[in-house]
Amino acid sequence: MTTRKRILITGASSGLGEGMARRFAAAGRDLALCARRTDRLDTLAAELTERHPGIRVATACLDVNAHDDVFTVFRSFADELGGLDRVIVNAGLGKGQPIGTGYFAANRQTVETNLVAALAQCEAAMELFREQNAGHLVVVSSFSAIRGMPRNMTAYGASKAGAAALADGIRADVHGTPIRVSTVLPGFIESEMTSRSGGRTPLVAGADRGADSLVKAIESERGTAYVPPWPWTPLSVLLKALPVGVFRKLV
- The strand pairing partners of 197, in sequence order, are none
Burial tier of 101 (Cβ tally within 10 Å: 0-12, 13-18, 19+): exposed
Q: To the nearest 10°, the Cα dihedral for 192, 194, 195, 199? A: 180
Helices 117-132 & 154-173, crossing angle to 10 degrees?
A: 20
Measure the CA–CA gap between 2 and 236, rounded to whole angstroms: 29
Report the sign of the C-alpha dihedral through residues 110, 111, 113, 118, in that order: positive
Q: At 46, which amino acid appears? A: A
Measure the CA–CA gap between 181 and 190, rounded to whole angstroms: 26
Catalytic residue among 74, 77, 156, 188: 156
Quote the strand ranges of 194-239, DSSP E.
Answer: 224-227
Task: Say whether 103 is catalytic.
Answer: no
Q: Give yes or no for a cis peptide into 228 (omega within 30° of 0).
A: yes
Q: How far is CA 45 from CA 34, 38, 122, in A?
A: 11, 10, 24
Residues marked as catalytic: 156
